[in-house]
Amino acid sequence: MATFSSCSTNLKFLNSTVVPAAKGSVKVSKDNNENFLLAVKVVNLAEPERLTPRKNMYVVWMVTSGNITKNLGRLNSSSGYFTSSLEGTLSTVTPFKPDYVFITAENTAAIQYPTGAVVLTTK
């Protein structure tokens, strides 16, 4: 079982013109193995099918301090579909230190580089 240090950073997503009501943050903690735990939480995020053009999901990305873009995974909702609060979350561990985090609207999560529009970013 990994244990995490009490020091953590909270990165806030900036206001978005694509999804103006969306708000969220990324909590970044470091474990004893020098890995980074990222806990993403977003509320008031429009369903991806309502975007123009329509998309199937949101994918969370990070850019490392070495300027490398990494796919962190699909933003999940509690029921597989967005709830009435339109809340999405993702928790993941990475050996890379995040410089910033962003979310794109995509048709699939199985991609190496973002192809859709950036809907939220911490930078």
Reported as a single tens digit per residue, the pLDDT across 68-83 is 999 999 999 755 555 5
**Among the listed residues 122, 120, 123, 87, the one whose alpha carbon sits nearest the alpha carbon of residue 18:** 120
If you search the block for the tokens 């009501």, which residue do you land on?
21
pLDDT band at 2 (very low <50, low <70, confident <90, very high): very low
State the pTM of this model.
Answer: 0.89
User: What is the mean predicted confidence (pLDDT) over 81-87?
Assistant: 65
Torsion angle in degrees (nearest 10) through CA of 24, 76, 121, 109: 180
**Among the listed residues 47, 50, 62, 57, the one whose alpha carbon sits nearest the alpha carbon of residue 96:** 62
Identify the residue with better confidence: 82 or 46: 46
